[in-house]
Amino acid sequence: MTQSKKTHSKRTVKPVRRPAKTVKHPAKDAKRPLKIDRRMVGGGSVEVPSAVLRSWKELAVVSDPVKAKQNAQKFRELWKIFNKGREQISRELLQSQDTAEAYVLGFHLPNAARAALLCRRIAQRVGITAGSKPGVGSGMRLGDWLGKSFTQQRIFDLGCGSGAWSQVWLSEVRLNRNAVYLIDASRALLEMAAKGIAAVKLAAGSSASIYVETIPKAIAAFNFAQYDAPGQSLDVYIMGYVWNELINDRAAQAHVMARLESCVTLKRDALLLLAEPATDEFALGAMALRDELCAAGWVAIYPCPTGARACPMLNAKGGVRDWCFSEGGWRKPDEYMQLEEDAGIGHNKLNSAMFALASPELALRLPKMAPDLRDQTQVVVGKPLLPGGRPGLEKGFSYLLCTPDGLVKTSPKKIEIKFAKPRGSTVSGAPKLAEKSWEKSGEKSATSKRGG
């Protein structure tokens, strides 16, 4: 499938060109490269919240070794399907109870870990720096931060699957009143998603109310307006690995876009959490969606330091330069390590094209809510490899940073690439920018191995 087929709606999405995949030499004119101090950069590993983990163990029946082995085999088959051609995935695939169980076994925790990573990165961007587990650690919880401005939220988890994202979000952000709308074509997964939310609710033991509704419908048929209510609410739209599954469902994409655009005209306080696989075509699709929403007035708060401005990677002089994704560590529980062994599938780290966007109304509050969401923030978006040096000389890499002024390359590093700062981590307080060497040089995708 080519990128040009991935138009999101007829109106504004520009066709994007695939980036070159070759590793090129760094720019020669990087005269005053940036120096990055290790302490300036946020990174680290995340954990799945304990309530989410506990309910996963029950739902995926990990305590039964025979069943666990069978499900591991089914998970392996599903994994192959998901990695072959996501746009070919049949709506029927996840309908049966058996398949849903295998799906939960293998995909629920990595999805939850990605959600935890995005929560953590948002916390870092807005300046509250949560600990490694959502809600645990030295920092303030995202929920405490948002709770200063809102008392209620409505969560629309579109194509929720097993509800991993809603469960993590609710573990991290619980306001006085919470309504969760789980929308998915699979009844079997919806049932599991609702059970997982019940577990999170139970674990919370707080007076906060959580209303959950499962909606077994196609996204295109979901009537958002039916769930609108008077009173000020934070609306959270979640799209975890679902936008790419709507490639052939223009009606669904247009329906979602119309709703998100209505948040601008109706001045709603809304947040969009978007995640897509970290491959070139899906990440580029997410970047195009981000740009389209920013053109409509939304403001990117993660990872983009460019806010509402067009993505410099997608709109670089001469065409698309590269694709943007986030990386992070995940402290996997033993049971999941065992599954990876049984299924022969392993994740070294989390890779995902993740974005958080604020509606214009919410963005207006941000300078007060998050004075630390500083404009000069710089984010690691690439780690271009240096060419092999003379024999005996170590290879190195540079950091490619996204900054409010565009893309900047830093001075070469001589440490191993595996010890580099993860993509999507923030570099704050770095010295004054040297120059836009990367963009000036016209260098194309000088990027090391990209994640999928």
Residues of this chain that bind ligand SAM (CB under 6 A): 94, 111, 159-162, 164-165, 184-186, 189, 218-219, 240-242, 245-246, 249, 252
DSSP 340-408: HHHHT---SSEEEEEEEEE-HHHHHHHHHH-TT--TT-EEEEE-PBPPP-STTPPP-B--EEEETTEEE
Place of tokens 């060419």: 387
| Least gap, CB of 52 to ligand SAM (angstroms) | 11
| Least gap, CB of 45 to ligand SAM (angstroms) | 19
Place of tokens 């051609």: 85
Could you say which DSSP state residue 310 is in? P
By beta-carbon proximity to ligand SAM, the closer residue of 140 and 160 is 160
By beta-carbon proximity to ligand SAM, the closer residue of 120 and 409 is 120
Is the backbone of residue 159 left (phi > 0), alpha (psi -120 to 50) or beta?
left
CB 146 within 8 A of CB 234: yes
By beta-carbon proximity to ligand SAM, the closer residue of 161 and 303 is 161
User: What is the 3 state secondary structure string of 109-124?
Assistant: HHHHHHHHHHHHHHHH
CB 104 within 8 A of CB 56: yes
| Least gap, CB of 369 to ligand SAM (angstroms) | 27
| Least gap, CB of 251 to ligand SAM (angstroms) | 9
By beta-carbon proximity to ligand SAM, the closer residue of 153 and 214 is 214
Compute CA distances 242 → 161, 174, 245, 286, 430, whole Å.
Answer: 9, 24, 5, 11, 36
Secondary structure class of 14 (helix, strand, coil): coil
Sheet architecture: strand order including 400-403 = 406-409, 400-403, 378-382, 426-427
By beta-carbon proximity to ligand SAM, the closer residue of 45 and 111 is 111
| Least gap, CB of 97 to ligand SAM (angstroms) | 14
| Least gap, CB of 183 to ligand SAM (angstroms) | 6
By beta-carbon proximity to ligand SAM, the closer residue of 111 and 124 is 111
By beta-carbon proximity to ligand SAM, the closer residue of 105 and 185 is 185
| Least gap, CB of 216 to ligand SAM (angstroms) | 9
By beta-carbon proximity to ligand SAM, the closer residue of 220 and 433 is 220
* Nearest alpha-carbon partner for 189 in 133, 256, 240, 121: 240
- Please tell me the distance from the alpha carbon of residue 309 to that of residue 237, in angstroms, as a whole number: 21
Compute CA distances 249 → 13, 39, 50, 313, whole Å.
Answer: 15, 45, 36, 27
| Least gap, CB of 78 to ligand SAM (angstroms) | 10
* Residue with the shortest CB distance to ligand SAM: 161
Query: Which tokens is 92 given?
Result: 């029927």
